[in-house]
Structure 1
Amino acid sequence: MSLAALAAKVDARTPAHRDRAIDGLRALALLAVPTGHWLLGGFTVDADVGSLHNASPLSSFTGLAPASWILQMLGIFFLVGGYASVLSYNKRKGSSAEWLKSRLVRLGRPVLGVTAVWALMIPFLYGLGVPEATLRTGAKLVVQPLWFVGVYAAITALTPLCIRVARRMGAWSAAPLIGSVAVVDFLRYGPYADAVPSWLSLLNLLPGWLFAYQLGVAWGEKRVSRKTAYVLLAGGTALFAALLLAFHYPASMVGVPGQGRTNSHPPSLLVLALAAAQSGAAVLLRDRIARVLRHPALWAPVVVINLSAMTILCWHQTAMLAAAVPGSYLGTIPGLTSAPDTLGWLAARIAWLPLFAVLLVVIGKHARVFEHPTGKGLNTTKARRTVAGLLAAGFTVFALGLA
């Protein structure tokens, strides 16, 4: 079957009520995760033992910071997550607890799968001679994007409350969240910052990421008008500019080694300003996106990406490592294991992206069984779940440097 025929078949099987714009926005946000990590995640090789170490090109090229504004699309992901949760919750047939359990299982099973597999791989790779430092570097990269799943799960559990608040207050229900983050930012970055304990920043973790989700819930409840969307776009853009120019927030949306402040872990007010602008743009462009995705050739990839969402999130770092670890045995390879401190590195890294994508497809073909178990391919008995849980816990301890 040709690709055109396959795309037409996927298009024909899509229900008429399917919201293509929401799926398209989710796919865009999903692709931004591996693209960002692959572009901004460099390595260096220890000349003595050949071990890999993480290195960020942002340390050398501050001018790359605007790229992180485009690639940081978690605001869009939480926005469409809130929107989709409303539709799913309102159509549920069982209790709220049953609905939540099904959502959490869908999130947790792929995470358990990737961490358990890596727990088995580490001793095997070590036995083959892969340096321990390389294994720790790889483990940290694999764990890096998984924090998102825990936060998303916690926020998903709040969906019934989010819906009740959105029905009363509409888009204004997200305002207290941005206010909360602003207060914490003032305390940790303001004139009394020296007297504020470091753990205070953790108070931004939940409201910081709940902000866009709450907007999505209000959108799903039809409480976000085009006028509100324009306010979000203009207000978010203005606040973003003010925080950068007048309040000297770090320009990068991701952490940069050596910088004392970071915007994303936990989220600062700059993250919420960007999420507000992105959310406003998404609402305004929704109808246009839906029309574009009526074309089967554009719609089919969106379907594939959405069906592989957790596989992409959990395994994209493994795909990059599948190229970098063997490459480390060959020494310094431009764009792969060379230090990310020249423009040549950036050009070479872009050239490596297609290989990373191919490796992700190959890995995903086998790993997606954790996301979509079929038949007896994944017999999740209590004993197997227990073993997988222990393996995942062991891998996490190793990745965090606790063992």
Structure 2
Amino acid sequence: MSTLAVTARKTAAKIESSTPAHRDRAIDGLRALALLAVPTGHWLLGGFTLSADGAIHNASPLGTFAGLAPVSWVLQMLGIFFLVGGFASVLSYRRRKGSTGEWLKGRLARLGRPVLGVTAVWAALLPLLHFGLGVPVDSLRTASTLVVQPLWFVGVYTVVTALTPYCVRVARRLGVWAAAPLLGSVAVVDFLRYGPYADAVPSWLSLLNILPGWLFAYQLGVSWGEGRVTRKHAWALLLGGAALFATLLLAFGYPASMVGVPGEARTNSHPPSLLVLALAAAQSGAAILLRERLGRLLKRPALWAPVVVVNLSAMTILCWHQTAMLTAAIPGSYLGEVPGLVGAPDSVGWILARLAWMPVFAGLLVLIGRFARGFESPWTTAGPARRVLAGLLAAGFGVFALGLG
């Protein structure tokens, strides 16, 4: 047996021995699965074109290969993430030792530190990359957009986490039906923006879907954590969500892709459409039904150890995975078109080459994560001045990334 295999086995055994008996392995497993789907989706379905001045610009193979849309159905697992987030929040909320305000402060700080870290680091990198290494401004715009792209999720998740006490109260009163008004709200907005009177509806109306659209699965998770979701409910979510999903696609012309496609006027995820909630309902039902089986499977140390590692690095994966891809793409752009990395994602060859690049991106993320993991821990050594500086850098990067400066 190789040294690497022996080390891996010892690490798995150590993690197994330190896992509390009451740990809900299925919930951690579902969270890890949803987390890994984020970089996998962005790396597989995001590409770069190269302009005449050497700058990279966002592109997607979905623009050419519309038949790949079902891949986005599998990789769009934010419904699962919000579901297990709601479930875990209920457990944490019950165990809180201080006030509700203190509980919220602790959870929101764990979300905010990594976001502040990645945006502050990129703010410091931008002038170095442009003035020191000559990276075109358009490449930096593209990079900044990609870095910010997954961070909207943190903002939304922060809001729904703050609503946990209210979600708990509603769940105790209405059970699984607490999520129904959220589904109805999104359906009404979708009818207004896509129905017969769409031309008379202001474009900002779609923003009304952001909160109920993502709160839907979180509320299901809270109800689940409160013991108000039965297997019968789970089957209804699975079958009803799948039926609604198919109906919206086939009869109402919703876009098939669950992610935005450059050049397409309509998108499902930003803000979420009713199709996103249908998929989240089906995924939630399946997750609830598979919980016990998944929990038994993860009693194997070799399977449980990577789940623990992924969960411990959750925010690092979320915040830095686009940086890992850019770490390869920006230098690669100086070589011209590189198959699967820089160049129009419009051929089967590009798809095969991109699959070959995936382990490279993962390796870069691991290397970056060794440094970035520190942002997830409390900043005990950072004084007020450093925190203010980090905040200013982060704000400056946000202005640049959003095209405001």
Could you tell me which of 375, 392, 395 is aligned with 2:394? 392
Counterpart in the other structure of 1:119: 123
3-state DSSP of counterpart to 1:2: helix
Instruction: Name the Cα RMSD after superposition.
Output: 0.8
- Contact (CA 8 Å) 1:107, 1:149: kept in 2 or not? yes
Quote how far apart the aligned CAs of 1:372 are.
Answer: 2.1
- Contact (CA 8 Å) 1:177, 1:208: kept in 2 or not? yes
Q: 1:253-273, CA deviations, whole angstroms, 9 ceiling, x for partnerless residues?
A: 011122221100000000000
Quote how far apart the aligned CAs of 1:50 are.
Answer: 1.3
Residues 329-348 of structure 1 aligned to structure 2 (within 5 Å): 329-348=334-353
Counterpart in the other structure of 1:54: 58
* Aligned-partner Cα distance in 2 for 1:49–1:273: 43
Q: Which runs of 5+ in 2 are unaligned?
A: 1-5
Moved beyond 3 Å, runs of 4+: none
* Aligned-partner Cα distance in 1 for 2:193–2:402: 25
* Aligned-partner Cα distance in 1 for 2:228–2:395: 42
Q: 1:156-199, CA deviations, whole angstroms, 9 ceiling, x for partnerless residues?
A: 00000000000011000000000000000000000000001111
* Aligned-partner Cα distance in 1 for 2:381–2:335: 40
Counterpart in the other structure of 2:290: 285
3-state DSSP of counterpart to 1:191: coil
Letter in structure 2 aligned against 1:394: G
* Aligned-partner Cα distance in 1 for 2:58–2:297: 39
Quote how far apart the aligned CAs of 1:380 are.
Answer: 2.4
Aligned length in residues: 399
Letter in structure 1 aligned against 2:120: A
Residues 221-370 of structure 1 aligned to structure 2 (within 5 Å): 221-370=226-375
Identity of aligned residues (%): 75
- Contact (CA 8 Å) 1:56, 1:340: kept in 2 or not? yes
Quote how far apart the aligned CAs of 1:381 are.
Answer: 1.6
* Aligned-partner Cα distance in 1 for 2:129–2:262: 28
Q: 1:78-97, CA deviations, whole angstroms, 9 ceiling, x for partnerless residues?
A: 00000000000011000000
Counterpart in the other structure of 1:371: 376
3-state DSSP of counterpart to 2:256: coil
* Aligned-partner Cα distance in 2 for 1:14–1:400: 42
Alignment of 1:3 onto 2:8: yes
- Contact (CA 8 Å) 1:235, 1:277: kept in 2 or not? yes
* Aligned-partner Cα distance in 2 for 1:247–1:56: 24
Could you tell me which of 209, 215, 233 is aligned with 2:220? 215
Letter in structure 1 aligned against 2:41: G
Residues 85-104 of structure 1 aligned to structure 2 (within 5 Å): 85-104=89-108
Quote how far apart the aligned CAs of 1:378 are.
Answer: 5.5
- Contact (CA 8 Å) 1:369, 1:378: kept in 2 or not? no
Letter in structure 1 aligned against 2:67: G
* Aligned-partner Cα distance in 1 for 2:161–2:399: 26
Alignment of 1:110 onto 2:130: no
Letter in structure 1 aligned against 2:34: A
Q: 1:344-376, CA deviations, whole angstroms, 9 ceiling, x for partnerless residues?
A: 101100100000000000000000100124xxx
* Aligned-partner Cα distance in 2 for 1:255–1:328: 24
Letter in structure 2 aligned against 1:384: R
Deviates more, 1:124-133 or 1:284-293: 124-133
Counterpart in the other structure of 2:3: none
* Aligned-partner Cα distance in 1 for 2:69–2:46: 13
- Contact (CA 8 Å) 1:184, 1:201: kept in 2 or not? yes
- Contact (CA 8 Å) 2:12, 2:301: kept in 1 or not? yes
Q: TM-score, normalised by structure 2?
A: 0.97
* Aligned-partner Cα distance in 1 for 2:58–2:262: 10
* Aligned-partner Cα distance in 2 for 1:402–1:237: 40
Alignment of 1:196 onto 2:201: yes
* Aligned-partner Cα distance in 2 for 1:42–1:259: 16
- Contact (CA 8 Å) 2:39, 2:321: kept in 1 or not? yes
- Contact (CA 8 Å) 1:44, 1:52: kept in 2 or not? yes
* Aligned-partner Cα distance in 2 for 1:220–1:290: 16
Letter in structure 2 aligned against 1:110: P
Counterpart in the other structure of 2:84: 80
Letter in structure 2 aligned against 1:398: F
* Aligned-partner Cα distance in 2 for 1:386–1:379: 14
Quote how far apart the aligned CAs of 1:74 are.
Answer: 0.1
Quote how far apart the aligned CAs of 1:63 are.
Answer: 0.4
* Aligned-partner Cα distance in 2 for 1:144–1:23: 24
Q: 1:183-238, CA deviations, whole angstroms, 9 ceiling, x for partnerless residues?
A: 00000000000001111000000000000000000000010000000000000000
Letter in structure 1 aligned against 2:121: V
* Aligned-partner Cα distance in 1 for 2:200–2:142: 34
Letter in structure 2 aligned against 1:385: R
Letter in structure 2 aligned against 1:381: G
- Contact (CA 8 Å) 2:58, 2:262: kept in 1 or not? no
Could you tell me which of 63, 68, 71 is aligned with 1:64? 68
